[in-house]
Chains A and B, each alone.
Chain A
Amino acid sequence: MSQWIGVGTSREKDSFRAAREAAILAKAATKQQDTDLVLIFSSVHYNPENVIKGTRQIMPEAKIIGCSGSGIIMPRTIEERGLSILAIKSNSIKLGLGCCSNLNEKNIRTAGQELAKMSLANFKTASRDIFIMFSDGLIKNSSELILGVEDILGRSFPLIGAASSDNLRFTKTYQYYQNNAFANSAVGILLGLNSGFGFGIKHGWKPIGKPRLVTDSEANVIKKINNEPAINMYEEYFGDDITELKKTRLSRLTILYPIGINIPGEDEFILRNILETTDDGSLICQGDVPTGAEINLMLGSKDFCIQAARDAAKEAKKGLKDKPASLIIIFDSAARLKLMGRFASSEIDAVKEVLGKNIPIVGFYSYGEIAPLKAMGFRGTSYFHNEAIAVLAIG
């Protein structure tokens, strides 16, 4: 059982050349003739078609999957403009790729099922360990998509992934699948690893003020909180600033003050970003919020973020048992990048401190993170999180 892992990065401005450069570096790091699996994370500055072409020139045989991010986590730095390629060659890994495009035109839950079915069909063998997925961060009901995948793969099957992003422009994000660069799609890969893995997801945001009750909601739209228009909650906290916030797109600043859903048995609340507000005062969230949920306004800080990153890494380490990690994949929230600013690398440093310094790292800043909840009552069911950091460590 052997496995070779290599990470290559580039900050080159030309898309084709950047992908080619990163692919060459990644392949060289594996020291192998060919590659089985390639993960591409690129900032939205790149032309996605040319990124695929550049990668293909170096790795014509590899299975390709990936997406765009609001910042790319590289082994040594974080780049707002850059591209990172992970290459894996293994004689024991089992892969099944799937994709589902044109999500807007489909029932989102059915689309999730479609994605899982396709991956499963491509996977063939029975021993599957984990499903990694990347979905368009602009779709509004990602939770439904996850439910669809779980319909096929099982409620307790570990689902880890993230929503692709576009530097908080909220216009177009990309998903890579084999020779295609899609937008408005979801891609995934079913993996049989044989080598063990561990994951952890944390956010570190703390509830502030009194809890409130969601009295009317539908999937990802909160209509009423405490029987009042949902926007009132933000108005109460932000006061006059709300008009300015509305004018300048609420999502820009509310990412620093998300809504937290209290989950009994979990250490942390599940966070929900506010994407938009409607004229009747409803809040459109990135992920669903059930009626009857107890919610709070949440407050974050740099220190909380760093501690959360450390805790997520510790969880991942626990999952690996005594095995050392050979690869770290990080899905970090674009909101956290914004909050951390120049100190963003402190989070990644905290992860490295826990899991080891010289281990290949890939990752990106996303519009949502997908990972299972730990509490017994949830039986390891995966959820769509916002503003969290998910750490996946592969043994």
Chain B
Amino acid sequence: MQELLQDFLTSMMLSVDFQRILNIIGFLAVFAVICMGVILAEKSKQTNQLKQSLNKLKKSFDQLDEQAKLIVKTDLELNKTQEELDKKITALFTLQKISRLLSTTLDEKEIFRRSQSIASELGFEKCFIIMQDKQKGLDFKMSRGYPDPELERILRLFEHDAALDKVTKEGSVLSSINISDSNRNRIASSLGVLYFIIAPIITQDGIEGALFVGNESSSSILTEGEEETVSILATQFGQSLENARLFEQVYSSHHELEAKIKERTKELADALEEVKRISKMKSDFVSAVSHELRTPLTSIKGYASILIDEKIGNIPDFVKERLEKINKHSDGLVRLINDLLDIARIESGRIEMKFDAENIKDIVENVADLLSPQIKQKQIELILDIPDSLPKIYIDHSQIERVFINLVGNALKFTPEKGKITVRAKEIDEKIQIDVQDTGIGIPQDAKEKIFSEFYRVDNTINQSLKGSGLGLTLVKYIVEAHQGKIWVESQPDKGSCFSFTLPKA
């Protein structure tokens, strides 16, 4: 290149003729060609580079597309999972809903009626339940999406198709996804569906029937999740049926029991009425007899008195003595009859009580005065432990006086000489409790309950020597109870007894 330029300059310097001009042009042409060559070489290098970049770009574009494919696949997988998940969640909701629906009734017919919603709730177009009926054999209990003539045909299918035995005999779930193609096509077309699930209904008695759901459209493909759901539902269905039956049993036995109780109660009530009637008869009888006895007794006593008083002439002493015995025994008899009459009256509610506020101390002191001869005679120490501050009692004076006479009298009777009798009164809540305690012979344990019964007398030496009616404590009990009170006794043989009773405060 440099040489050329040297020549060019030399020739320029040597001459400026035509030859030179041609030479210059020649030179320029050669120069241009060379430049062009250089540029072309450069261009082709660039093109190669561009091609390489384009290839790189294409490669990364393809790589990106590969990644896109991966994304699509992942997304497809995600969508499938989500679809399955959605179905499961929906199924769970539905299961819960149907379970609640089925478990809130205990009526078998109602369970079948409610089960009609199974199909629509689970997104199936058709469903039915067939059950083994003792009389009819296989029978439809519920169906949806099938006209009646179809049902007959389906029954025959269930009776004769060997594949369906898996459900009704072996208790497995049969569905369009777990069955051979030929079986699936046959059953699906017989049942007029594309997809189906048939699950056994099992109770304690074994396989009793089957629940079928199916779809005739292809909008939703069956999944294992759905198969599971329907199977759970069929189990739930069996349990609901069992519950309903158990309830029916319990219900009917409960009814039987109730009827028996009613019958027994009526019998008892009748018996009670009878007892009451007899008791009244007894009271009436006692009352009538007592009245009848009292009149002649009054006469006897009257005549005896006339004779004793010698109003109709003198009588010998030994006769008088006998007459006084008649008089004395007549008095005893009158007392007995009076007691009997009082008991009968109180028992039948015929006695009229005259309630009034009374001072308990006055009554007891009065009784003590009345009994003072016997007290003195036996040298008994009588202690009255009745505070002055004690509230008044609301009672019938004469009746309560009889109570004290009886109780203190009994104490006197069974307490040996120089013994002690204490009459104590105290306030307990709304009541006044009175204790009559003695240091007498006491009451045997086994007699404690009986002493308040009519005509009962404790078997002891005192009772053998002293006469008594056996009505005193009975009367006392009746009077106390007529005052809404209670009476009881505590006793230890040879140490003494304590009769306690309560009376209302005024």
Contacts and interface: CB of A to CB of B under 8 A. Distances in A.
Interface of A: 81, 167-171, 208-210, 236-239, 241, 248-249, 252-253, 256-257, 297, 299, 339, 341-342
The SS class assigned to the B binding surface is helix
Contacts of B89: 342
Contacts of B71: 208, 299
Contacts of A236: 69
Nearest to A296: B68
Interface centre among B61, B62, B76, B89 (most CB of A within 10 A): B76
In the A-B complex, the 8 residue pairs with the smallest Cβ-Cβ separation, listed nearest first, are A209-B68, A169-B217, A168-B219, A237-B72, A210-B65, A208-B68, A341-B86, A209-B65
A148 B69 CA distance: 39
A241 B76 contact: yes
B120 interface: yes
Given A209-B64, A341-B86, A342-B86, A249 B218 contact: yes
Given A209-B65, A209-B72, A238-B72, A171 B86 contact: no
B257 interface: no
Given A342-B86, A342-B89, A237 B68 contact: yes
A392 to B, nearest CB: 27
Interface string B184-222: 000000000000000000000000000000000111110
A257 B75 CA distance: 10
A81 B124 CA distance: 12
Given A209-B64, A209-B69, A253 B75 contact: no
Given A167-B219, A169-B218, A256 B79 contact: yes
Interface in B66-101: 68-69, 71-73, 75-76, 79, 82-83, 86, 89-90
Contacts of B68: 208-210, 237, 297
A114 to B, nearest CB: 31
Given A169-B219, A341-B82, A342-B86, A210 B72 contact: no
A181 B90 CA distance: 33
Interface centre among A167, A171, A208, A238 (most CB of B within 10 A): A208
Contact of B73 (A167, A237, A339, A342): A237
Contacts of A253: 76, 79
A335 B90 CA distance: 19
26 contacts: A81-B120, A170-B218, A208-B71, A209-B72, A210-B61, A210-B62, A237-B73, A238-B72, A238-B76, A239-B69, A241-B76, A248-B218, A252-B218, A252-B221, A253-B79, A256-B75, A257-B76, A297-B68, A297-B72, A299-B72, A299-B75, A339-B79, A341-B82, A341-B83, A341-B86, A342-B90
Interface centre among A81, A171, A210 (most CB of B within 10 A): A210
Contacts of A257: 72, 75-76
B66 to A, nearest CB: 9
Given A299-B75, A342-B89, A237 B69 contact: yes
Nearest to A251: B218
Contacts of A238: 72-73, 76
Contacts of A239: 69, 73
A238 B70 CA distance: 9
Given A169-B217, A299-B71, 11 more contacts: A168-B220, A169-B218, A209-B68, A239-B73, A241-B73, A248-B218, A256-B75, A257-B72, A299-B75, A339-B79, A341-B82
B456 to A, nearest CB: 82
A299 B72 CA distance: 8
B67 to A, nearest CB: 8
Nearest to B68: A209
A226 to B, nearest CB: 12
A256 B71 CA distance: 13
Contacts of B65: 209-210
Interface string B5-48: 00000000000000000000000000000000000000000000
Nearest to B216: A169
B219 A210 contact: no
A316 B73 CA distance: 36
A236 B86 CA distance: 28
Contacts of A210: 61-62, 64-65, 68
Interface centre among B69, B72, B79, B220 (most CB of A within 10 A): B72
A64 B75 CA distance: 42
Nearest to A256: B79
Nearest to B79: A256
Nearest to B89: A342
B164 to A, nearest CB: 26
A297 B64 CA distance: 13
Contacts of B64: 209-210
Nearest to B71: A208
Given A210-B61, A210-B65, A253-B79, A248 B221 contact: yes
Nearest to B72: A237
A306 B75 CA distance: 18
B93 to A, nearest CB: 10
B487 to A, nearest CB: 76
A208 B72 contact: yes
Nearest to B66: A209
Nearest to B120: A81
A208 B67 CA distance: 9
A249 B61 CA distance: 31
A4 to B, nearest CB: 35
Contacts of A167: 217, 219
B68 to A, nearest CB: 3
Nearest to B61: A210
B357 to A, nearest CB: 77
Contacts of B69: 209, 236-237, 239
A297 B72 CA distance: 9
Contacts of B82: 341
A317 B79 CA distance: 33
Interface centre among B61, B65, B86 (most CB of A within 10 A): B65
Nearest to B219: A168
Interface centre among A169, A238, A297 (most CB of B within 10 A): A169
